Amino acid sequence: MPKQNSFYDVLSAAIRDVADHGYDSAARIAYWQEEIRKAAERTMSPPHVMERMLREALAAVYRRMVEKGQIVNLHPGVARFTLERVKPQLRAELDRRILASADLIKLNRKQAIEKTLQRFAGWSTSIPKGGSDAVDKRETKDEIRKSLASLPFQDRRVLIDQGHKLTAAISQTIAEGGGAIAGIWHSNWKQPGYDYREDHKERDGQVYTLRGNWAQDRGLMKVGDAGYYDEITAVGQEPFCRCRMTWLYHLRQLPDDMITAKGRGELADIRVAS
Ligand SMILES: [Zn+2]
C-alpha cells in the first residue's frame, strides 16, 4: 500500500495549489475537496474502535454507580433488593446510551468534515484566477481545519454528557421500580465556574412528586408547590445538564406541607407501634 499523506500535508498541498493558480476551475476545487475528505476520514478512528472506547467509558460509569453501589447515595431509604430487581433494566439503559453516544459522535464527525470542506471551498473561490501572493498559508490552514481540530474535545464532551444521562436514567429506573414517592432537585449552581441554567437553579431544593405513587394513591400525601416531576425536563435531559435528583421513598422524608392529615395519622401510628 502506498504511504498515505496526513491530513495536514494534504491540506497544505491544497492551499499551496490554490494560492498558486487561484480559482480557475470548479474541477480544481472538487479534486482537492475529495482529497481533503479522504485524508480527514483517515485521521478518524474506525467505528469499531470508537464504539469500544465508548463502551468502556460508559461501562465504567455503570460499574461505579451500580456494581459498586454509588447510586444508592441518591436513594436514601430505598429497599436493598430494589437494585437487584431492576438490574436488567439498568443494563438496557447502558446499551441504549452506548448507541446514542456512537450516533452523536458519528454525526459530529460528519459535520466537522462538511464544515471543513465548506470553509475550503469558501476560501478557494475567493482567490483570483492566476493565484495570489497575499495568502497567509498558516492562518488559512488553521482556519479551515478548526472544526476537525476541536473533535477530540467534542468527543470528550459527548462522553461526559452521556455519562450524566446514563446516571440519571439508572437513577430514575431505580426510583420508579423501588416505589419512590418524590425527589429533591439538586443544581450545581454554587460550584464556581459552572455554567448553570437559571431555571435549574430555581429548582434547587424543590420537591417534585412522582405521579401515581402509592402514597398519593392512598391519600397520604399531596403534590407540593413544585408540582409533578413529569411536568418539567428531567435531570440530565437538556444538553450538558449536570443536575441530579435524590429520591424519597418514605412519608416521613417529605416536607410537612406535602403530608395530608391521613398521612400524619399514619406516621403517628407508626411511632406509637415502634
Ligand atoms: Zn441542570
Question: Long-range contacts for 201-209 (Cβ within 8 Å, ≥24 apart)?
Answer: 203/232, 203/243, 207/182, 207/183, 207/248, 207/254, 207/255, 207/258, 208/182, 208/183, 208/184, 208/232, 208/245, 209/181, 209/182, 209/258
- 204 CA distance to ligand 1 centroid (A)? 9
- 130 CA distance to ligand 1 centroid (A)? 55
SS3 label, residue 172: helix
Q: Which residues pair with 209 in a beta bridge?
A: 182, 228
Residues 167 and 65 sit within 8 Å (Cβ to Cβ): yes
DSSP string covering 31-91: HHHHHHHHHHHHHSPPHHHHHHHHHHHHHHHHIIIIIS-GGGGG-TT--HHHHHHHHHHHH
Half-sphere exposure of 177 toward its Cβ, with a 13 Å CA cutoff?
18
Sheet hosting strand 207-209, strand order edge to edge = 207-209, 182-186, 244-248
pTM higher than the cut 0.75: yes
- 7 CA distance to ligand 1 centroid (A)? 38
The residues placing their C-beta within 5 Å of ligand 1, an ion, are 200, 241, 243
- 231 CA distance to ligand 1 centroid (A)? 15
- 173 CA distance to ligand 1 centroid (A)? 19
| pLDDT digits (tens), the chain, 274 positions | 445 679 999 999 999 999 999 999 999 999 999 999 999 999 888 888 888 999 999 999 999 999 999 999 999 989 888 989 999 999 999 999 999 999 999 999 999 999 999 999 999 999 999 998 888 999 999 999 999 999 988 888 899 999 999 999 999 999 999 999 999 999 999 999 888 999 999 999 999 999 999 999 999 999 999 999 999 999 999 988 999 999 999 999 999 999 999 999 999 887 777 6
